[in-house]
Amino acid sequence: MSESKETISDAAVIEALGISTSKPTGDETDNNDRKESKKILKLATSKQKDRARKSLGMMTDELGYMRGGMTEEARSPIKYSKGGAIAGKNFKGSF
């Protein structure tokens, strides 16, 4: 995957970002892939990295932190039990 700065493709950046954010396996092939992906990501432009993050479903929250692979989902309504406690939670102490 040795590519010069002018020829780094968006596909290579997406693949490199995917490799770098995946769970490491520790074998030699995985270690080599991670080394190459670091090289590619160093040469990639910020626009390429942004497009790669969007294509992989990564999101940036309002503070600028990345949440890899998480999608926004609608939360189901909270179910309350008798007395106002949230159903399924063990509350202890006085309220």
Q: pTM value?
A: 0.57
Position 60, amino acid: T
Per-residue pLDDT reduced to its tens digit, 40-68: 999 999 999 888 888 887 776 667 666 55
> Which of 34, 28, 31 minimizes the C-alpha distance to 15?
34
From CA 82, how far away is CA 68, in angstroms rounded? 38
- What pLDDT was estimated at residue 5? 46
- Structural domain boundaries of the chain? 5-67
Whether residue 81 is predicted with pLDDT greater than 70 in this model: the reply is no
Contact assessment for residue 34 and residue 19, using Cβ atoms and an 8 Å cutoff? yes
| pLDDT tens sequence across 12-39 | 999 999 999 888 998 999 999 999 999 9
Longest CA span, the chain = 65
Q: Give ∠ CA 72-34-30 in degrees, rounded to 5.
A: 100
Residue 80 pLDDT more than 50? yes
